[in-house]
Chains A and B, each alone.
Chain A
Amino acid sequence: MAVVDWVYDGLLALLVLGLAAGALYSLSLYRAVVFYIALGLVLALVWARLGAPDLALAEAAIGAGLTGVLLLSALKHQPNKARLMGWPWLPGLTGIAILLLLIMMVKAVWGLPQGMAAVGQAALLAVPESGVEHPVTAVLLNFRAWDTLLEVLVVLLALLALRQLTLPDETFPDAWPLLLAWSRLLAPLSLLLGIYLLWRGADAPGGAFQSGALIAAGLLMLRLVGLSPALPWSRFGVRLSILIGPTIFLLAAMATASLGAGWLAFPPDWSKALILLIEVAATTSIAISLALLVGSDSRELNQ
């Protein structure tokens, strides 16, 4: 069986490199985007093979799905058929840079001790006290909650940056009946799956970002086929749902800093409730923010 595994992993690795090259060096931008989406899906497979289903889910939902939609809609806004600039010395230069990076990475990885590092063992031992059973969620929402807080803020910053832009007016053609019927079926399904992933994050792969991305995908689908209008920024509820995740996260951080053991050090009795609250709030914010990042109403933005 080991040989089969080697062949499979080798093919996956070659496929990743080939798709990445296709995404970088395709002369047609549309093709490059399609290559990039395929690259995201194969990367998700790679994460799954490495035993990291959390990352696989995030890569498939955000890396391939939402980024793909983002790139395709950016492509639609290109004024004319854009072509990549053909600098003759570019491939050689990139090659040298990649080679240097590869040497540095190999050197860094070579020195790592085999097996699990001490910090990983310590983290696994502490999982029962974290309030959740799934080690990845324990790390993301408890031991390294600071990182996750910053990630939630990055999404907020991206949305605020988008609000500063003006976009060309866009109109969507009327969707065909089949697409409408399919979207009516798929959008509730993605909401259901999103909530399921959020709930499952306590003891299995899942969590706020994957769940938020799925819900955003459902909202976007309804928006793109014209079944629902773009989420209006002017509505208080929309702005509230964008801010509720970072706000609750920051409040929890400040409360633990002033009343408890320290910045984002959750007391064990409270940690499950706190983590659940933060996850639900963060999922709401991520879902609405991602949906607005890709499917904002250009007329509203330009006002």
Chain B
Amino acid sequence: MIEFTAILAWPFLLAGAFFFIAGTLGVLRFPDIYSRLHAVTKADTLGLGLTVIGLGLLSGSLRTTLLMILVWLLVMASGATACQLLARYERERPQVEDENGGR
């Protein structure tokens, strides 16, 4: 049974890693701040959720899993909030080229 859950965990962990890498690439490569925010908050939240599922299956402990899910919920809420705040800041900022050439 333990081995079965361990095997089941790996696809989740790999998918989690994939979404983290995708989110990071998005932050590095996307052209403007809105799409970069989109990449980092959505993809990383999903990646963390999948990683939590995988690690929960690996740990085999309900308590540990619940704690990790709590952490995930907190990260999800803070990511969504920070994303909205940064996006509003960017939208209401006077649109001038800053010292880094508009990035």
Contact = CB atoms under 8 A, between A and B. Distances in A.
Interface in B75-103: 77-78, 81, 84-85, 88, 99
A191 to B, nearest CB: 15
Contacts, number: 15
A189 B70 CA distance: 12
Closest CB pairs A-B (n = 5): A182-B81, A178-B84, A179-B85, A178-B81, A178-B85
Contacts of B78: 182, 186
A182 B82 CA distance: 10
Q: What size tier do the contact residues of chain A reach?
A: under 10
13 contacts: A28-B99, A176-B88, A178-B84, A178-B85, A178-B88, A179-B81, A179-B85, A182-B77, A182-B78, A182-B81, A185-B77, A186-B78, A189-B74
A177 to B, nearest CB: 10
A187 B69 CA distance: 20
A283 B28 CA distance: 41
Main secondary structure, interface of A, reads helix
A61 to B, nearest CB: 15
A28 B77 CA distance: 31
Nearest to B89: A176
A185 B78 CA distance: 11
Nearest to B74: A189
Given A178-B84, A179-B85, A182-B81, 8 more contacts: A176-B85, A176-B88, A178-B85, A179-B81, A182-B77, A182-B78, A185-B77, A186-B78
Interface string A166-189: 000000000010110010011001
Contacts of B84: 178
A109 to B, nearest CB: 34
A178 B80 CA distance: 11
Contacts of A189: 74
A28 B101 CA distance: 14
Nearest to A186: B78
A34 to B, nearest CB: 13
A186 B75 CA distance: 12
A68 to B, nearest CB: 15
Interface string B16-59: 00000000000000000000000000000000000000000000
A186 B77 CA distance: 10
A179 B88 CA distance: 11
Contacts of B88: 176, 178
A176 B77 CA distance: 16
Contacts of A179: 81, 85
Contacts of B74: 189
Contacts of B99: 28
A21 B26 CA distance: 25
